[in-house]
Amino acid sequence: MKTTTQTKLLINLSLFFTLFYNYSFFENLIQVYTLEENLGFVISTAFVITFFLTFLLGLVSFRYTIKPIAITLLLVSSMTSYFMNSYHVIIDASMIRNMIQTDIHESLDLLSLKQGLYFLFFGLLPSYYVYKVKIEERGFKKEFFSRLKLLLLSLAIIAVAIFSFSKYYTSFVREHKPLRFTINPTYWIYSTGKYINLTFNSAPLVVKPIGLDAKIVDTSSRKKIVIMVVGEASRADHFSLNGYERDTNPLLAQEDIINFPNTYSCGTSTAVSVPCMFSKYDKGSYSYKKGISTENVVDVLKHTKKIAILWRDNNSDSKGVALRVPYEDYKTAKNNTNCKEGECRDVGMLVGLDAFIEKNREKDIFIVLHQMGNHGPAYYKRYTKEFEKFTPVCKTNQLEQCSQEEIANAYDNAILQTDSFLTQTIHFLKRYEKSYDTAMIYMSDHGESLGEGGVYLHGLPYFMAPDAQTHIGTLMWFGKGMKEKVSVSALQKRATNKYTQDALFHTLLGLFHVQTKEYKRELDMLNNEH
């Protein structure tokens, strides 16, 4: 094996990163700064990235740290560049939270041959080289001056590059902020730091109770059963209820539902949207830390002491929302009677709910069903054979290998399955109509990109996310008794108004007639004074 010096290894590594892990960055860059007119600038960015990385690595890489650092960066970056190139995702702090909170089962959905090749050629092989290469020992003094020279030279090259194209760099920094999000490995390192800082760098978590004053002020003697279905990745424009040309809601269309065609999510990922929609904070003021350290509407309903609550989850988990109420994992055949070949169906969550209602006869009932829904990228796994109405379907988790039509077909079949699940939930509630006031609320967590403009899946930073990722499926159904109480005809009229997930907190309180100082009437979708 050859020998090298620390200095040479640092420069080579940085160059290697710039050339082989930043396809996404350069692809985006030359869309904004076309090559013909901006060749000099584009080349200068390669120098800036290379020597910025050299500078950063130069500050932390020494005899005993240089190899572990290099190998870690190579292994992780091979994967981040795979996801960035294939799905056009951005590895920001909330994406990292999403990845960490995702369980093994979902990660397996994402595994593919191409990913394996990325890992081999950009992760393992260069790591093996770094591991094997002999680093010359030059003594402290020599190494110190060599390093000092390297750091100063890096800064000088960066300065010259930026100075020569200062006009471009000003617009790059001011007007094209998202470009920086695709630089590998610096952006994922920055995001990891931000994630760690947001998550761990705080005093022990104390959850602030809210709505301790909550009480039910309903003069009616009838009890309520409300089932809230939290959807997964269902975008509004793929619902025939919202005018999609394909009939993706054939069963719901026959039910007396109220559809909300203009509803928008709080985030673009499960980890943001789910806690946000149940929190008292609106999209503007919500943050992960506030969400996790403040009770949510499920807790407030619990404080009334008159509502029996149950959260069943066929997704990853409740993202912290159901930590203080009864929770059942339905992604396991132990609880879910409707599992086959590792895939548990949402409809299994309805089994046994009768017993829960019976056991809590003295109380109102609030049940949350967190769906698997349209979880990507393996949409074709999300429905049973009977729902394979749109063909041919994309049968791989490597979405970029399928045509947009095949992806949409698989995705739409999964919407059909949700159409059926929601209808079965309504039929379940109908059995209780005589003795209870009943309601179902369905709201998806976020939307999904299906390859439009080369963007797949979800999780882009909100300000740059396409409508497909934020415009979500939302609908409600009310049983006979409840219909009168919520004045359905007035609600039907304003259903086309724009709503956001901010409304859910107050709508649930309104539906249960809960009085608390946390309740804001103007945000309640059921409030007739709109």
In the complex, the residues that contact Zn ion under the rule CB under 5 A are 232, 270, 445
Q: Which is nearer to Zn ion, 443 or 511 (CB)?
A: 443
Name which of 154 and 265 has its Cβ closer to Zn ion: 265
- Cβ proximity to Zn ion: between 412 and 437 the closer is 412
- Least Å distance, CB 416 to Zn ion, is 19
Q: What is the DSSP letter of 496?
A: T
Residue given tokens 């006979």 in the structure block: 480
Residue found under tokens 């994402």: 110
Q: Which DSSP string corresponds to 423-455?
A: HHHHHHHHTTTTTEEEEEEEEES---EESGGG-
Q: Which residue, 77 or 469, has its beta carbon nearer to Zn ion?
A: 469
| Cβ at position 446, least distance to Zn ion in Å | 5
Judged by beta carbon, residue 232 or residue 524, the one nearer Zn ion is: 232
In one-letter notation, the amino acid at residue 157 is I
**181 by DSSP, 3-state: which?**
coil
**Residue 24 Cβ, how far from Zn ion at the closest point, in Å?**
23
- Would you say 112 or 469 has its CB closer to Zn ion? 469
Q: How far is the CB of 114 from Zn ion (least distance, A)?
A: 24
Residue 16, number of CB atoms within 10 A of its CB = 18
DSSP at 392? S
Q: How far apart are CA 42 and CA 35, in angstroms?
A: 7
Of all helices (H) and strands (E), which one includes residue 179? helix 177-180
Minimum separation from the CB atom of position 53 to Zn ion (A): 33
Residue nearest to Zn ion according to CB distances in the complex: 270
Minimal distance in Å, beta carbon 458 to Zn ion? Answer: 7
Place of tokens 């990722």: 469
Rounded least distance, CB 475 to Zn ion, Å: 18
Residue 136 phi/psi, 5° resolution? -60, 135
Name the minimum Å distance from CB 76 to Zn ion: 24
Going by C-alpha positions, the residue among 100, 357, 133 that lies closest to residue 224 is 357
Compute the least distance from the CB of residue 346 to Zn ion, in Å.
13
Q: Measured from the CB atom, is 190 or 466 closer to Zn ion?
A: 466
The least distance separating Zn ion from the CB of residue 293, rounded to whole angstroms, comes to: 22
Dihedral over alpha carbons 44, 50, 53, 55 (to 10 degrees): -80
Give the contacts of 417 (CB within 8 A, at least 6 positions apart).
345, 346, 382, 383, 384, 387
Q: Write down the number of H helices and E strands in the chain.
A: 21, 18
**Token couple for 214:** 């909550």
Element (H, E) at 491: helix 488-494
Nearest distance, CB of residue 264 and Zn ion, angstroms: 15
Longest dimension (CA), the chain: 87
Query: Between residues 270 and 507, which has the closer beta carbon with respect to Zn ion?
Result: 270
> Crossing angle for the helix pair 93-101 and 186-199, nearest 10 degrees?
70
Smaller CB separation from Zn ion, 225 or 276: 276
DSSP labels, 125-167: HHHHHHHHPEEPP--HHHHHHHHHHHHHHHHHHHHHHHHHTHH
Of 88 and 375, which has the nearer Cβ to Zn ion? 375
Nearest to 319, CA basis, from 12, 100, 24: 100
Q: Within a 13 Å sphere around the CA of 230, how many CA atoms are in the beta-carbon half?
A: 30
Looking at beta carbons only, is 445 or 518 nearer to Zn ion?
445
